[in-house]
């Protein structure tokens, strides 16, 4: 196991941290389902990004001062009995030898040792408000550090959310290769689903198929709860009940991506249960696909990150006017936001260790511009629930198409293009 990559990321913080400061990044705790039955442990993403270390209730402290940059970790102590029940622990020795920290302590010592580490520094940075109970702990440690010498300068507490988030925003080669793998696995699962879905299947069966296809390719967990939405269920944006039977006249919207070695993929495809789009379904589908293609074309270094959003709004507005679902001048309708009755969510989000990944969307008062190494989803949609005041023929049609787009030096790369989005290709795959 080579953990140099994580050590290098910690060392790179030398350029980003203020002088004479300490950065604290708390790891995740084990979450219990009931009694002593725990959910599978998932490390906090920023903690993992800087350590590669996957044991619960750990803490990283990165100290930046005139002596250089030093990384310290607090980890669960070695414990013969606990290790019999729950498995191997690295302990402080393993944290130094295998995870390349400069110093490691057992986490039962945090309250005693951390105030000494903070003492004499001017700033403590940590992600404020992200972990329950942690804000109070930082205040307590900082107060204890300050009270060691009442004549020393007080310690300022600063939010590190943007600092770490924006580091994570630009993906390195190692990350891109893992996300590429997560995307490939997820795309293959979508292809398998398109080939096998049939009238009368239950949404839950389709869900289990995705989990199986992910798992057999090395991705044990989905990156988020899959949305397996037949017919009108597609109009519930976060539908996760996944328990209805599919009808041959339905479209099936599946938003499902796996997590591979901690990295997420996020793909949506919408396809006809019968294998053949109806005329109305196809009309709506083509508008979404046009919006998708135009939006992806605008993901380029230097372009404003809101450009795909605006383009997708315009294409969808125009398309809805062309088929009579909106009436009036497309430009005016776009300005008034009339499309929001049909397309009510944003075009996408950053993707990485988390499906809705860390990283800002603005720089100062402006939206950011795209830079190589960023990965964004592009996911336009049109949703027409039966409650809407439209001709019956449109009711119950919900379409979203979602791909994962890497910004490159020469434009972009669609990491999930392997799974067809062209309606003819979908129909031929399903035939």
From the CB of 237, what's the least distance to ligand GLY, in Å?
Answer: 9
Instruction: Mark whether 36 is an active-site residue.
Output: yes
**Whether residue 356 lies in the annotated active site:** yes
Catalytic, 392? Answer no
- Which of ligand GLY, Mn ion, none lies near 201, with the C-beta cut-off 5 to 8 A by kind? none
Give Cβ neighbours of residue 126 (< 8 Å, ≥ 6 apart): 23, 24, 25, 26, 134, 138, 157, 159, 160
Nearer to Mn ion, 160 or 256 (CB): 256
Min dist CB 255 to ligand GLY, Å, is: 5
Catalytic residue list contains 168? no
Scanning 145-153, 160-168, 263-271, 409-417 for contacts with Mn ion by CB under 5 A, the matching segment is 263-271
* DSSP-assigned letter for residue 34: E
Q: Please tell me which residue in 55, 255, 259, 404 is annotated as part of the active site.
A: 255
3-state SS, residue 359: coil
Binding mask 358-397 for Mn ion (x = CB under 5 A): -------------------x--------------------
CB neighbour list of residue 143: distance below 8 Å, 6 or more residues apart? none
Q: Which of 15, 36, 279, 410 is catalytic?
A: 36
Q: Out of 250, 379, 403, 404, which one is annotated catalytic?
A: 379
Q: List, in sequence order, every residue forming a beta bridge with 59; answer none if it has no partner.
A: 26, 74
Q: Minimum distance between the CB of residue 266 and ligand GLY, rounded to whole angstroms?
A: 5
Q: Among residues 201 and 402, whose Cβ is nearest to ligand GLY?
A: 402
DSSP 327-349: -S-HHHHHHHTGGGGT--S-S--
Q: Can you give the C-alpha Rg of the chain in angstroms? A: 25
Number of residues in contact with ligand GLY under rule CB under 6 A: 7
Q: Which is nearer to Mn ion, 266 or 357 (CB)?
A: 266
The two structure tokens encoding residue 229? 């939405």
- Closest distance to ligand GLY from the beta carbon of 377 (Å): 6
Restricting to residues 394-413, which ones interact with ligand GLY according to CB under 6 A? Answer: 402
Per-residue tokens: 244 = 């209805």
Q: Is 126 annotated as catalytic?
A: no
Closest by Cα among 121, 123, 379 to 237: 379
Sequence-ordered list of residues with C-beta below 8 angstroms from that of 310, at least 6 positions apart, any chain = none
Please pick, among 9, 119, 190, 400, the residue that the annotation labels catalytic.
Answer: 400
DSSP state letter for 86: H
Is 263 designated active site?
Answer: no
d(CA 143, CA 24): 15
Q: Report if residue 232 touches ligand GLY, rule: CB under 6 A.
A: no
Pick the catalytic residue: 301, 310, 356, 413?
356
379 binds ligand GLY, rule: CB under 6 A: yes
Query: How near is the Cβ of 240 to Mn ion at its closest, in Å?
Result: 12
The span from the first CA to the last CA of the chain, in angstroms, equals 45
Between strands 21-26 and 123-126, the pairing is parallel
Residue tagged 């891109």 (tokens):
176
> From start to end of 165-250, where are the E strands?
221-222, 227-230
Catalytic site includes residue 67: no
Q: Which of ligand GLY, Mn ion, none interacts with 224 (beta carbon under 5 to 8 A by kind)?
A: ligand GLY
Annotated catalytic residue, options 201, 266, 357, 403: 266
Kindly give the pairing relationship between strand 68-75 and strand 59-65: antiparallel
List the interface residues with Mn ion, window 203-262 (CB under 5 A).
255
Distance CA 60, CA 340 (A): 44
Interacting partner of 320 out of Mn ion, ligand GLY, none (Cβ under 5 to 8 A depending on kind)? none
Of 232, 357, 402, 404, which is the active-site residue? 402
Q: In the stretch 237-276, what mask flags binding to ligand GLY with x, by CB under 6 A?
A: ------------------x----------x----------
Distance CA 397, CA 101 (A): 54
- Closer by beta carbon to ligand GLY, 78 or else 345: 345
**Which of Mn ion, ligand GLY, none binds 250 (CB below 5-8 Å, type-dependent)?**
none
Beta-carbon contacts of residue 335 (< 8 Å; ≥ 6 apart): none
- Residues in contact with 245: Cβ distance below 8 Å, sequence separation at least 6, in sequence order: 200, 201, 202, 203, 230
How many angstroms from the chain centroid is the CA of residue 193?
23
Using CB under 6 A, which residues numbered 319 to 358 contact ligand GLY? 349, 355
Which tokens belong to 231? Answer: 């017919």
Applying the rule CB under 5 A, the residues between 344 and 363 that interact with Mn ion are none
Using CB under 6 A as the criterion, which residues of the chain lie in contact with ligand GLY when the complex forms? 224, 255, 266, 349, 355, 379, 402
Residues forming contacts to Mn ion in the complex (CB under 5 A) are 255, 266, 377, 402
Residues labelled as active-site residues = 36, 238, 255, 266, 345, 349, 356, 379, 383, 400, 402
């Amino acid at each position: 196991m080579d953990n140099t990559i994580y050590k290098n990321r910690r060392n790179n913080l030398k350029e980003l941290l203020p002088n004479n400061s300490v950065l604290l990044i708390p790891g995740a705790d084990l979450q219990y389902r009931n009694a002593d039955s725990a959910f599978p442990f998932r490390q906090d993403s920023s903690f993992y990004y800087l350590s590669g270390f996957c044991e619960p209730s750990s803490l990283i402290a990165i100290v930046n001062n005139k002596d250089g940059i030093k990384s310290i970790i607090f980890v669960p102590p070695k414990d013969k009995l606990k290790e019999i029940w729950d498995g191997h622990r690295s302990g402080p020795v393993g944290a130094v030898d295998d995870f390349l920290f400069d110093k490691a302590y057992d986490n039962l010592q945090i309250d005693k040792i951390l105030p000494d580490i903070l003492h004499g520094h001017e700033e403590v940075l940590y992600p404020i408000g992200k972990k329950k109970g942690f804000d109070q702990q930082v205040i307590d440690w900082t107060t204890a550090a300050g009270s060691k010498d009442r004549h020393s300068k007080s310690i300022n507490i600063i939010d590190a959310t943007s600092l770490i988030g924006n580091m994570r925003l630009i993906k390195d080669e190692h990350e891109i290769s893992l996300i590429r793998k997560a995307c490939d696995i997820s795309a293959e699962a979508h292809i398998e689903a398109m080939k096998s879905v049939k009238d009368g299947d239950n949404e839950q069966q389709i869900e289990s198929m995705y989990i199986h296809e992910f798992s057999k390719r090395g991705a044990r967990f989905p990156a988020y709860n899959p949305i397996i939405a037949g017919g009108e269920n597609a109009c519930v944006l976060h539908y996760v009940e996944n328990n209805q039977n599919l009808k041959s006249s339905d479209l099936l919207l599946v938003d499902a991506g796996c997590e591979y070695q901690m990295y997420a993929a996020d793909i949506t495809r919408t396809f006809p249960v019968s294998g053949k789009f109806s005329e109305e379904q196809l009309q709506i589908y083509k508008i979404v696909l046009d919006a998708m293609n135009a939006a992806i074309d605008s993901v380029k270094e230097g372009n404003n990150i809101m450009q795909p959003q605006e383009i997708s709004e315009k294409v969808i507005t125009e398309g809805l006017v062309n088929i009579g679902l909106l009436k009036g001048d497309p430009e005016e309708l776009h300005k008034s936001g009339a499309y929001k009755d049909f397309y009510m969510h944003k075009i996408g989000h950053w993707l990485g260790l988390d499906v809705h990944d860390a990283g800002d969307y603005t720089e100062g008062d402006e939206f950011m511009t795209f830079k190589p190494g960023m990965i964004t989803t592009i996911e336009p949609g049109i949703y027409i629930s039966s409650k809407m005041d439209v001709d019956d023929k449109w009711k119950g049609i919900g379409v979203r198409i979602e791909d994962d787009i890497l910004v490159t030096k020469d434009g972009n790369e669609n990491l999930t293009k392997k799974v067809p989005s062209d309606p003819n290709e979908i129909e031929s795959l399903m035939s």
